[in-house]
């Protein structure tokens, strides 16, 4: 199975032409007159308009629909520090997701620079091209400084998705799981295993939702992050505990919520059984969770269990958020992606989960009885309702929090605009075609001599 996956993936990326994206013109170009408008001499007129008023760049160029996905390849998926060039397939994939889910054009930019200061200067120099910047796969703790400095110096939304995307989606899952398990957020005792970028961002957002800081225990590879430990980073020090506990097993006793962003197989059935009644377990280590799904489900029957994998229920997947967060932010001219916008996205995703699921989504995933419950605490990635729901929620939060420079006033028209984008994504590659992509996969498999089951 592993060899088949490898062969099919390599063929998918290589044939019929290398890579996953291309640039497509949006204006006529068939005649000399078209070219005279597109380039010389006609192009001088929008240039002069922008020279007089820089804000007109949003009116005459693609800036308002263009996102950069930028990485230096120092923390790629579960692969680690593989370098800028080796990160490019992932960044191309992220660009593809922006396009097919939210209609946003995207350039992937791989920067061969590990020094944070130099990396920031390079990205700052590129910022005038884009309406937003999605930082990706940059290792901690450098990613904290890089994001902070770019947010301070750029007047467009900048978000490190490994931090905030994971935080937003898992926060939505937490809102629903706590409701189902009968737990109030202010009473939840949280154990976080892992103290990297995503873990810190998730914990901060959970606290913003209502979890009390004194009810948080964070663990890293050395054990519980305690206040008496020397040389703590500022990020770890924020969540250091005064409690007299030292190991993950100690921390798990009577915990209500486990968040894992660490490595596989560090949680045992005994640890799960030591948790409080009706526990919530988010085991998000990639690609294998902190405890295997079948082992966790056999350990106790009263838990809600989520992973980052698509082959188990309750996948916590960043694609539920980042395309629509940037869509809403760019559409209202937001200068940043702030805490109210993140919280609005989380609440919107959570609320959408509680609505009846369209039949086409059930059919696409082969789950005829899909509805809000312990095995469905988040929408499926192919749910087209996410575009309208999350984008609008983010835009409204941007406007209410004062970071929107082009406020939306007609929300019914905006909703219709988003529905039109959803049906026309990727120049005709719409959701119905995405949901019926098996024919493409079968062609690849047949060419390689495999048979799909």
- pTM of the model as a whole: 0.92
Task: Let me know how many helices (H) and strands (E) the chain has, helices first.
Answer: 20, 10
Tens digit of pLDDT for each residue in 104-148?
999 999 999 999 999 999 999 999 999 999 999 999 899 999 999
Tens digit of pLDDT for each residue in 177-230?
999 999 999 999 999 999 999 999 999 999 999 999 999 999 999 999 999 998
Supply the residues annotated as catalytic.
Answer: 39, 94
Q: Output the DSSP codes for 308-353.
A: S-TTSSSB--GGGTHHHHHHHHHHTTBS---HHHHHHHHHHHHHHH
Contacts of 437 (CB under 8 A, 6+ apart): none
Contacts of 134 (CB under 8 A, 6+ apart): 67, 68, 69, 70, 94, 98, 159, 161, 322, 326
Q: What share of the chain is helix, strand, coil (3-state, %, to 5)?
A: 50, 10, 40
pLDDT at 433: 43
Long-range contacts of 53-59 (CB under 8 A, 24+ apart): 55/405, 57/128, 58/131, 58/333, 58/406
- Per-residue b or e along 401-420, where b marks 16 or more CB atoms closer than 10 Å to that residue's CB: eebbeeebeeeeebeebbee
Tens digit of pLDDT for each residue in 369-392?
999 999 999 999 989 999 999 999
Task: Report how far apart, in Å, the C-alpha atoms of 271 and of each of 214, 224, 228, 306 are.
Answer: 21, 15, 25, 16
Domains of the chain: 61-156 (3.40.50.10380), 165-307 (3.40.50.720), 318-374+385-415 (no CATH)
Q: What are phi and psi of 315, to 5 degrees?
A: -75, 125
């Amino acid at each position: 199975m592993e060899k088949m996956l490898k062969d099919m993936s390599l063929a998918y990326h290589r044939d019929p032409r290398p890579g996953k994206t291309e640039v497509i013109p949006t204006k006529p170009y068939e005649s000399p007159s078209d070219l005279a408008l597109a380039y010389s001499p006609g192009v001088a007129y929008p240039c002069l308009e922008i020279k007089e008023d820089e804000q007109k760049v949003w009116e005459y160029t693609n800036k308002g629909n263009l996102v950069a996905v930028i990485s230096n390849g120092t923390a790629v998926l579960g692969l680690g520090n593989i370098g800028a060039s080796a990160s490019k397939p992932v960044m191309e994939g992220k660009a593809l997701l922006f396009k097919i889910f939210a209609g946003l054009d995207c350039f992937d930019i791989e920067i061969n620079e590990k020094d944070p200061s130099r990396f920031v200067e390079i990205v700052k120099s590129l910022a005038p091209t884009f309406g937003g910047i999605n930082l990706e796969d940059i290792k901690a703790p450098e990613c904290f400084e890089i994001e902070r400095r770019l947010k301070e110096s750029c007047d467009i939304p900048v978000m490190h998705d490994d931090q905030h995307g994971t935080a937003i989606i898992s926060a939505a899952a937490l809102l629903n799981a706590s409701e189902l398990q009968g737990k109030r957020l202010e009473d939840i005792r949280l154990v976080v295993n892992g103290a990297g970028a995503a873990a810190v961002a998730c914990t901060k957002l959970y606290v913003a939702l209502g979890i009390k800081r004194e009810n948080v225990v964070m663990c890293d590879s050395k054990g519980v992050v305690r206040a008496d430990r020397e040389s703590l980073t500022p990020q770890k020090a924020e969540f250091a505990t005064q409690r007299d506990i030292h190991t993950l097993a100690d921390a798990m006793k009577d915990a209500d919520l486990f968040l894992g962003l660490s490595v596989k197989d560090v949680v045992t059935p005994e640890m799960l059984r030591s948790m409080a009644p009706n526990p919530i377990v988010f085991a998000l280590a990639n690609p294998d969770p902190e405890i295997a799904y079948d082992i966790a489900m056999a350990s106790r029957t009263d838990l809600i269990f989520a992973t980052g994998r698509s082959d188990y229920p309750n996948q916590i997947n960043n694609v539920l958020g980042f395309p629509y967060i940037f869509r809403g932010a760019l559409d209202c001219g937001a200068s940043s992606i702030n805490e109210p916008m993140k919280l609005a996205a989380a609440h919107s995703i959570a609320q959408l989960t509680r609505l009846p699921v369209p039949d086409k989504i059930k059919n696409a995933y082969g789950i005829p009885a899909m509805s809000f419950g312990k095995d469905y605490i988040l929408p499926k990635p192919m749910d087209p309702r996410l575009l309208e729901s999350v984008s609008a929620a983010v835009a409204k939060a941007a406007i209410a929090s004062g970071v929107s420079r082009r406020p939306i006033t007609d929300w019914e028209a905006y909703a219709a605009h988003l529905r039109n984008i959803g049906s026309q994504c990727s120049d005709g590659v719409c959701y119905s075609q995405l949901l019926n992509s098996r024919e493409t996969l079968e062609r690849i498999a047949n060419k390689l001599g495999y048979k799909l089951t």
